Structure formats: structure tokens, C-alpha cells
């Protein structure tokens, strides 16, 4: 009985000693400093990849330019105009396109303006602005779908430019 207790204590002591020998090696491999002179900010292994990625995203977000506030306000004024006030919407869109012809919102303005002209049943202006929008943005899916839906349905054989519009 006594030998069993002694062997248990021996194994316990061996475990403590071996843990003491291997822990400093493990902690330094994990990037934890073993001496107090080094700080964790000096060691890049203390930050996880997700923390670094989050910091990079935040830096990118804060560093990006948000554009001209006047341009943003002009687009929002156009975009938030109700569908019932179509004349005002057309006026704001034309003013936006005249002032900011190559802006990041230009594609969206052409889409909404073409839709507004279609809703007003003003097909000549619809054809003009949808064609101009497609010439500037040939991959604009919304404008392509709208034009592809409207043009064949608005086709009349009596129109002198009917064949040209279908092309």
C-alpha cells in the first residue's frame, strides 16, 4: 500500500517538473514573452489575424474619400423626390447630370431618369436618356432590362424612326 502511494507521489512530482520544463518553451512559441523586458505590443504574434484584419478594414474605411458633400446632397434630393412629382424629379436629374456628368451616381441617375420618362409616357426623352445611359454604362443591368422591355412594347409601325429605335 505504501509503495502505491509513493509511486503516485513520484508520478505527480515528475508531472510537475516536466510541466515546468516545457511551459516556457510553449509560451515563447505562442508569442508570449518569457521575460518582463519585452512588451506584448512588440510581438506581432499576440494579435490574432481577425484583429489585424479588422484594424485594416477600419483603416481603409476611415481613409476613403466620401466624395463631395454637395454632390451627395444633390443626388439625395433627386433620389428622394416622390414619384408623384415627376417634373421636379426630371429637373433635379438634369441639373445633376449637367453638374456631375462623370460621378459615381451618374449610372443610377440615368436609370431613374429613364424610368421616370417612361412613367410619364414621354417616349422620345426615354429613348434619348436610355440610349445615352447605355452608351456610358453598357453593362448596366437595370437600364438594359428597362430598355429591353419598353422598346418592343412601345413599337409602332407608323413611327418614322421605329426601325432605328429597334436597333
How do residues 20-46 score in pLDDT, each as one tens digit? 666 555 555 555 555 555 554 555 555
Q: Would you state the pLDDT for residue 89?
A: 92
Q: Does the pLDDT value for residue 76 go beyond 90?
A: no
Q: Give just the sign of the alpha carbon dihedral 4, 9, 15, 18.
A: negative
Given a contact cutoff of 8 angstroms between Cβ atoms, the answer to whether 39 and 33 are in contact is yes
Domain 69-166 has CATH 1.25.40: yes
| Among 86, 96, 161, residue whose Cα is nearest residue 116 | 86
Do 156 and 165 meet the contact criterion of CB atoms below 8 Å apart? no
Q: Where are the domains of the chain?
A: 2-63, 69-166
Q: How high is the pLDDT of residue 21?
A: 60
Per-residue pLDDT at 93 exceeds 90: yes
Amino acid at each position: 500500500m505504501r509503495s502505491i502511494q509513493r509511486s503516485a507521489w513520484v508520478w505527480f512530482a515528475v508531472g510537475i517538473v516536466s510541466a515546468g520544463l516545457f511551459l516556457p518553451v510553449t509560451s515563447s512559441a505562442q508569442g508570449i514573452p518569457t521575460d518582463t523586458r519585452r512588451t506584448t505590443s512588440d510581438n506581432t504574434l499576440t494579435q490574432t489575424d481577425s484583429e489585424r484584419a479588422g484594424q485594416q478594414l477600419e483603416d481603409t474605411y476611415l481613409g476613403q474619400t466620401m466624395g463631395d458633400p454637395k454632390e451627395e446632397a444633390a443626388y439625395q434630393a433627386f433620389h428622394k423626390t416622390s414619384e408623384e412629382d415627376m417634373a421636379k424629379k426630371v429637373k433635379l436629374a438634369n441639373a445633376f447630370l449637367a453638374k456631375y456628368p462623370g460621378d459615381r451616381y451618374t449610372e443610377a441617375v440615368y436609370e431613374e431618369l429613364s424610368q421616370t420618362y417612361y412613367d410619364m409616357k414621354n417616349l422620345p426623352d426615354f429613348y434619348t436618356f436610355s440610349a445615352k445611359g447605355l452608351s456610358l454604362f453598357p453593362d448596366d443591368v437595370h437600364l438594359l432590362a428597362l430598355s429591353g422591355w419598353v422598346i418592343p412594347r412601345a413599337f409602332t409601325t407608323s413611327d418614322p424612326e421605329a426601325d432605328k429605335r429597334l436597333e
